[in-house]
Amino acid sequence: MSMANVDKGELISQVKQQIAVANAQEMLTQMTQKCFKKCVNKPGTSLDSGEQKCISMCMDRFMDSWNLISRTYGQRLQRMQ
């Protein structure tokens, strides 16, 4: 199979986008599970304002946690070089 007709820039751009989408989906799935678990303890007939506020804070803390872990892992990898 020849790659002669493939637009290299187009292919690279599409792959990067697909990877970004996959990452965002993983992020959302995890965030939803974690925050549901923390914030919705007795599922009622709707999400009350307390639950909504908790979910909002939880999302922010989730991102804080993710970023901190990302930095820590990076630092550890550098130490292990």
Partner 1 sequence: MSDMDSPMTPKEKELHKFIMIEKQKAQINAQIHGFNDICWEKCIGKPGKKLDRNTEACLKNCVDRFIDTSLLIAQRFTQMVQKRDAHNK
Restricting to residues 25-54, name those near partner 1 by CB under 8 A. Answer: 26-27, 30, 34-35, 38-39, 54
Rounded Cα–Cα distance for residues 54 and 21 (Å) = 26
Rounded Cα–Cα distance for residues 55 and 32 (Å) = 9
Residue 69 lies near partner 1 (rule: CB under 8 A)? yes
**Contact call for residues 76 and 68 (beta carbons, < 8 A):** no
Residue 76 lies near partner 1 (rule: CB under 8 A)? yes
Exposed, middle or buried: residue 4 (CB in 10 Å: 0-12, 13-18, 19+)? exposed
Total number of residues that touch partner 1 (CB under 8 A): 34
Residue 21 lies near partner 1 (rule: CB under 8 A)? no
Binding interface with partner 1 (CB under 8 A) = 1-4, 6, 8, 11-12, 15-16, 19, 23, 26-27, 30, 34-35, 38-39, 54, 57-58, 60-62, 64-66, 68-70, 72-73, 76
